[in-house]
């Protein structure tokens, strides 16, 4: 089975600088939620909640996948609609900073990508199907971000937890390249996953809005 990767984030009181970061990100079209519109209790997930313990306590029948494809709101939105997907959580992976906050990632200095952790039942959906959907809901050929979101935190990447996931991903990339897609997606090993602030979780489901830089484009035969 796939090995979950879990790191618990610290509690973070929203600093004054967050307001400036949010305003700047909105102006640039970045993936941002306004903390002012969220209840105080959602600002930082409680490390004792099931959301935080999810990977560590998941039964053996569940497996995990990690995808980065631009703003995690849109990736989360589309992947959680798939049958067999039990939960999708937004967070950060791939960088060198421990306990990163959204403000930290906005500086482009942490190396982290906006990433989703997909918890799924392999008896109902296989990893390869999740990876296919991932390649269809974002533009895997964009090299500098995703849509209007430009920056190293928005790069396209798959974080494989084992050789099987790596093999499936590489095979799908090769299929796309043979079909003329200049795929920019990188395949990396899964590292520590740092869950994002509460106001980023299930953003579109909670707000009723729709993704602004993600849409499904069928790139495979099925």
- Which one from 30, 55, 65, 71 is the annotated catalytic residue? 71
| 194 closest CA partner among 89, 88, 119 | 89
Under DSSP, is residue 163 helix (H, G, I), strand (E, B) or coil?
Answer: helix
Q: Is 84 exposed, middle or buried (0-12, 13-18, 19+ CB in 10 A)?
A: middle
Of 2, 105, 118, residue with least CA distance to 66 = 118
**Rounded-to-integer distance, Cα 37 and Cα 54, Å:** 26
CA–CA dist 98, 95 (Å, integer): 8
Q: Which two tokens stand for residue 31?
A: 């993936």
CA distance 31 to 77: 13
Can you tell me the distance from the alpha carbon of 162 to that of 160, in angstroms, rounded to the nearest whole number?
Answer: 6
- Residues 3 and 66: their CA atoms lie apart, in Å, by 11
Active site residue 71: yes
Tell me the β-bridge partners of 114: 92
Residues that are catalytic: 71
């Amino acid at each position: 089975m796939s090995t979950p990767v879990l790191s618990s984030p610290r509690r973070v009181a929203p600093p004054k600088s967050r307001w400036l970061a949010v305003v700047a990100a909105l102006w640039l079209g970045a993936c941002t939620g306004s903390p002012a519109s969220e209840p105080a209790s959602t600002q930082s997930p409680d490390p004792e909640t099931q959301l935080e313990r999810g990977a560590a306590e998941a039964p053996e029948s569940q497996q995990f996948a990690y995808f980065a494809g631009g703003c995690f709101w849109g990736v989360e939105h589309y992947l959680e609609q798939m049958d067999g997907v039990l939960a999708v959580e937004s967070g950060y992976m791939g960088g060198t900073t421990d306990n990163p906050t959204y403000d930290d990632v906005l500086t482009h200095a942490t190396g982290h990508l906006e990433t989703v952790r997909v918890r799924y039942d392999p008896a109902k959906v296989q990893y390869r199907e999740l990876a296919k959907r991932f390649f269809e809901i974002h533009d895997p050929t964009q090299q500098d971000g995703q849509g209007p979101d430009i920056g190293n935190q928005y790069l396209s990447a798959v974080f494989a937890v084992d050789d099987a996931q790596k093999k499936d991903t590489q095979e799908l990339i090769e299929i796309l390249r043979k079909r003329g897609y200049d795929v920019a997606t990188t395949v990396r090993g899964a590292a520590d996953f740092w869950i994002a602030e509460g106001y980023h979780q299930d953003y579109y489901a909670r707000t009723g809005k729709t993704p602004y830089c993600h849409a499904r484009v069928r790139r495979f035969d099925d």
